[in-house]
Structure 1
Amino acid sequence: MEWFSAENVIAVVTAVLGIAASLGVLWYERRVPRRTRIGYRVQLDTPVSSAERSGRAGVRLGLFQENPQLSELSDATLVLLRIENDGSQSIAGDDYTGRELHGLTAEFTPRTIQGIAVTAPLNADHLLDHFTPAAGLRYTRDTVFLPRVPLNRGVHFKLLVLLTGGTVGDPVRVSGGIRDGGVFPNRSTTPDDIPPLFSRASRLITVLLTVSVVALASIVVVRDDTRPPMGCERGELTITGSTAFKPVADELAAKYEHDCAGSRVRVEARSSGEGLQELDERGAAAKGGSPALIALSDVPGTERQTGLQSSQVAVALYTLVVHDGVPRRDLTTDEVKAIYRGDVRRWNELRGVPEDYDLPIVLASRKSGSGTRDIFERTVLGGDIEEAYSSPDCETKIDPSAKVFRCELDSTARVLAKVAATPGAIGYTELRSGSTAKGVHTVSLDGRIPHPDTIAGSDYPYRGVEYAYTYGSPPTGSLVSSFLNYLLRGGGQEVVRKHGHLPCSMSEAGAICAPDPAEPADRTQ
């Protein structure tokens, strides 16, 4: 199922972690009472001789200068004990619950205490005022009694103890009673570290949330945001018909196959007329079925093809193209009509063409049944039909008496190739194909230049509607139905626009795509 995608799973896990963390914090705040806690740890436990060698002799001499003979004792050790408030509440003097004057005891059994000193950080040096005999500071053979020192959260003091007997590493234990809390050993990686800002559980949740969010963001960044066609279907489909629309059909087929695994779309463009005829014949042979075939056509089907169902795809622009050597980039509609009637047969008979450009005008035309030719005859020639062809290859004229030097070709690609290879040749093509071919250039009509950005607002005449035909209504859930939706309403619309056409689904194309009731129905013969 598409729901179980990587980004969806990570998004759900991230959301669950966030909700769990929020509920956990809320529960903790409501259910878990605020704790008072004193923590302690041994930060130094070393022989006195080692302290001297490591530079700590000054501490020893300053603290025990009245007993210089202690430096000669082979078993003398120094212990530095850190005691701190590492709970969530401040501790006042009356929070110590013992009945004795002192608040805490520090035991060093089996070693014997020879002397003590107390230090505090600069920002808490006021604590030293509490360490007096009157407040309860004293020591016995193996125990130090510490006063009821008030400690704000995170504040600490240190106890430096000189010991004899025993060995380095003998246990040290601090005990005492604290209201709503207790005294516990804690750990540190450095002698003067700072208590962590977050608890271990908080750090774990933060790490998990961060990893989840980063993973989700990575998927969003690198994934392909192109949405697959609506209702992808498997199977095989053939697209036939218009050769002018073939570049669009090729890209549509490749993109649909990429987005929809298990589909195969072949493009077999011939001409609009041949495509409609093949669709009509295969549909009739299917006896009520709908073949896996779509015919793209530049013109409507004939009245005899009653089983065909059309969908308007896009407005397409066409243009006249001439060999690059022809020195004209604009022709009037009257000049074009005269050329295709045979009234003008050589280029130097036209205005603006030098006398020495004395080449015959060679018409590279499409065969009957071509939608591009049909639109050219209706919109540019004013309904006139092109003269009969007089050359099989646009190189030799088989009938010297013919009014025009004209050959017929079966595809847009062959027209472009022939015009590019034949000096003095002229032809017509779909605009996008003509704008990218080498060896030819386009010509405007009556000063009107065809451009994809001005299809709707221009009065440029050589344009028409591209149709997609199926035999009857394709079954729901079929590849034909899915591809048709993709072409008319889905991701295929971007491909159509990319090739310079205006989709009929867009509002500005409405007036052009609307059928003309006065237009003859039979346009493919």
Structure 2
Amino acid sequence: MPANDPQPPQTVDEIARSLYRTAYPEKTDDSGWVEEQVSVAVERISRAEQADPSTSPGARPLDDAVINRAAPKSRRGPRIAAAVVSAVVVLVALVLGIAERQWVAETAISGDGILGLSIAAVVAALATSVSYVRVRRRQILSCRVRIDAPFGVDIGETVRLEGEHAAVTDPGVVVVRVKNTGGSTITAEDYVSPLALHFPGRQVISVDATEFEPVELHRVISKLPGFTIEEDRVQLPKVLLEREASYKLVIVLSGTTPGEKHQIAVEGVLRDGRITTREGKEKVGPGTLAWGGLTAICAGALAVVLLLNNVAPFTKLPRGVACEAGSLSVEGSSAFGRAATELAGSYEAYCPGAAVKVGTPGSVEGLQRLHDGTIDLALSDGKFDEPDFTRFVPQKLAIVPFTLVASKNVPVDSLSVADVRKIFTGGARVWSDITGNLRDTGVIRVAGRSTSSGTRRTLENYLLGTPSAPIGQAPATSDSCRDLRPDLAASSPIICEQGSTGDLIDRIATLGDAIGYADVSDVAQSSAVKKISLDGRDATLDDIRGGYPFWTVEDVFSRGPLESGSLAAAFRDYLLTPEARNAMAGFQYYACAAGEQDLCDRR
């Protein structure tokens, strides 16, 4: 056909029929013979399309004859350099890992090692995803030559086609499949240079497009400028191809001599993709495989490290602590409750077969339940001299500092011990009784603990009185901490009792002019209250050594000597480990280690 005069698409049998009638004009009237030859030609082309090009005597393998000049130049130099560098890094890492295996192992199972492996696994996984998506979205235009064969019936037969204007000597046919095998649409703007086929030593006679997928592609191509034929080269229009869209080209050439080796060159450049002479899809690129392998290595290493850190029998236990299975109940001090809960959780993490339940009814109630046999261990803020508790076996754990705590609007930041006695024994009703300022008319609302509290016992022993002559906190006069009970005189002080440290702090935070007492750690959790110092001292270890009086020693009690190999003995021993001491330090408790033994002997 003329170069710029596109014709309607023709099927293979129509082209073959036209060629045979032109080549053998004397057979034009013998339709049976023509149809027989057409049938044979169509069958050969069909078989060749199914990867069997040798069905035609003049056909030849195409793999070595098709040149993909559109392919990007191979960067073998940088790739080889990158491979060498990677191999050196892996080798060095392997040598160091073997030589310093102990350090590597210790680092891997540390917190920093786990964090590092987690970050590496996440980064590698993200890189794998990005690489995979980039490959899937890459523009790939496949231009695959399926058939390159001369028109010939028998080997050695010369065929000459008589065209409309000139004879076609040594005619041949090339069938090409053009397909978008990438992950995104290819538009006309994506072609830096259009797709073209070059046939050195041959001349292009005609080109037709056929077998459109989807069929609507025929309409798109028919509206574009036609195929440009330049002697031995045919340039294709810049066709918009959706994903998986394709069409076939049937190209008739002269100069296809049977038995000779002819080359076909595929030319063209895509802006953000590439043109290939193969049909296969790139679902996973080498970069994706590399990052995926690194992800698997990091994830596997992380799994092993977590296994070694958290699963028995691989658990790295603190020195001197053994895992024992079973259930254990520990109850008592509400002041020590948060620390006890965290310590129980840590032991369960080390020893998954153990279940340690912590309750915080108060020190006295915990000791009473231990006496009744309903729990295994009791936590108490100091010792109690009740006859029922004298046979208990104590183990000193830590120094627990307490502080006075008040509402934000309370007009003082520090109190003397004498002022504290006046407030908590009911000798002061309004804040002016403490400050001496008549404008401080707020009614003092005292929030104290119940009689079962070890914290209250510490207040009575070391602030209001002494261990040998304790002075009791004034009895409760209010249930709400806001108003007096109806049967009391209006001049009575407002004093209420709370069952736990948390309840006391919450009550003070919601009232005005209120004051109470609690352990330092729990007070630090609330921004709605403030600490009140004693005679200018705070509840720090230095001030405790300097005379700060409001503190006690936390003990864990058992009914008698603990049986070796029991869960109670194992958990009690765990409370004395460096790990447990560090956990208690986080709650501002000072463990009864060697340096604090003198303080821990206080009774």
Written as runs of structure 1 = structure 2, the 5 A alignment for 1:141-156 is none
Report SS of the residue matched to 1:415.
helix
The alignment status of 1:336 with 2:420, answered yes or no, reads yes
Residue 308 (1) aligns with residue 392 (2):
yes
After TM superposition, the score normalised by the length of structure 1 is 0.54
Is 1:440 the counterpart of 2:529? The answer is yes
Deviation at 1:252, TM superposition (A): 0.5
Residue of structure 1 aligned with 2:520, choices 431, 434, 440: 431
Q: Which runs of 5+ in 2 are unaligned?
A: 1-89, 112-308, 310-315
Q: Quick one: structure 1 residues 208 and 267, their matched pair in 2 at CA, closer, same or farther if it must change by over 3 Å?
A: closer
Deviation at 1:505, TM superposition (A): 2.3
Please state whether the residue corresponding to 1:346 is helix, strand or coil. Answer: coil
Q: Deviations over 1:9-55 (max 9, x none)?
A: xxxxxxxxxxxxxxxxxxxxxxxxxxxxxxxxxxxxxxxxxxxxxxx
For residues 93 and 551 of structure 2, what CA distance do their matches in structure 1 show? 62
| Partner residue, 2:566 | 478
Change (3 A) 1:267 1:455: farther
Of 273-282 and 206-215, the range deviating more from structure 2: 206-215
Rounded to whole Å, the distance in 1 between the matches of 2:484 and 2:91 is 86
Q: Quick one: which of 506, 514, 517 aligns to 1:417? A: 506
- Superposition CA RMSD, Å: 2.4
The residue type equivalent to 1:276 in the other structure is L
Equivalent residue runs for 1:487-498 within 5 Å: 487-498=575-586
What's the CA shift for 1:342?
A: 2.3
- Structure-2 residue corresponding to 1:323: 407
Deviation at 1:333, TM superposition (A): 1.1
Deviation digits for residues 197-217 of structure 1, max 9, x if unmatched? xxxxxxx99997456447765
State how far apart, in whole Å, the 2-side matches of 1:248 and 1:365 are.
22
The yes-or-no answer on 1:270 pairing with 2:353 is no
* Aligned-partner residue type, residue 494 of structure 1: N
**Alpha-carbon distance in 1 for matches of 2:450, 2:351:** 36
Supply the distance in 1 between the matched residues of 2:439 and 2:419 (Cα, whole angstroms). 20
Q: Which has the higher contact order (CA 8 A, sep 6+)?
A: 1
Picking from 507, 512, 515, the partner of 2:599 is 512
CA shift for structure 1 position 498: 2.0
**Equivalent pair of 2:364/2:454 in contact (CA under 8 Å):** yes
2:343 match: 252
| Corresponding residue of 2:554 | 466
Q: Give the distance between the partners of 1:312 and 1:506, measured in 2 at CA.
A: 12
Match of 2:484 in 1: 397
Residues 83-482 of structure 1 mapped to structure 2, 5 A cutoff: 209=95, 212-213=98-99, 218-224=104-110, 227-229=316-318, 230-282=321-373, 293-301=376-384, 302-351=386-435, 353=437, 355-382=438-465, 383-398=470-485, 399-401=487-489, 403-451=492-540, 453-454=541-542, 457-482=545-570
Shift of 1:249: 0.5
CA distance in 1, matches of 2:334, 2:436: 34
Tell me what 2:46 maps to. Answer: none
Provide the C-alpha distance between the structure 2 equivalents of 1:394 and 1:206, rounded to a whole number of angstroms: 71
Residue-by-residue CA offset, 1:300-334 (whole Å, 9 max, x unaligned): 14222244111111111101001011121001111
Aligned length in residues? 302
TM-score norm. by structure 2 comes to 0.47
CA distance in structure 1 between the aligned counterparts of 2:549 and 2:101, rounded to whole angstroms: 55
The corresponding residue for 1:500 is: 588
**CA distance 1:356–1:255, change in 2 (3 Å):** same
Q: Separation in 2 of the partners of 1:469 and 1:365?
A: 25
Quote how far apart the aligned CAs of 1:219 are.
3.5
Any gaps of 5 or more consecutive residues in structure 1?
A: 1-203, 284-290, 517-525
Cα deviation digits, residues 169-210 of structure 1 (max 9, x gap): xxxxxxxxxxxxxxxxxxxxxxxxxxxxxxxxxxx9999745
- Cα deviation, 1:119-163, whole Å, max 9, x if unaligned, reads xxxxxxxxxxxxxxxxxxxxxxxxxxxxxxxxxxxxxxxxxxxxx
Q: Percent identity?
A: 28
In structure 2, distance between residues paired with 1:206 and 1:351: 73
Secondary structure of 1:296 counterpart: strand
How far apart, CA to CA, are the structure 2 residues paired with 1:512 and 1:216? Answer: 40
Quick one: structure 1 residues 224 and 416, their matched pair in 2 at CA, closer, same or farther if it must change by over 3 Å?
A: same
- Give, as a single letter, the amino acid of the residue that structure 2 aligns with 1:390: T
Amino acid at match of 1:405: I
Aligned ranges 1:28-39 → 2 under 5 Å: none
8 Å CA contact 2:553, 2:602 repeated in 1 = no
CA offset at residue 407 of structure 1?
A: 0.8
CA–CA separation in structure 2 for the residues paired with 1:233 and 1:455 = 40
Cα gap change, 1:211/1:472 in structure 2, threshold over 3 Å: closer, same or farther?
Answer: closer
- Structure 1 residue 455 displacement after superposition: 5.5
Q: Give the Å deviation of 1:432.
A: 1.4
Measured after TM superposition, the shift of residue 236 of structure 1 is: 1.2
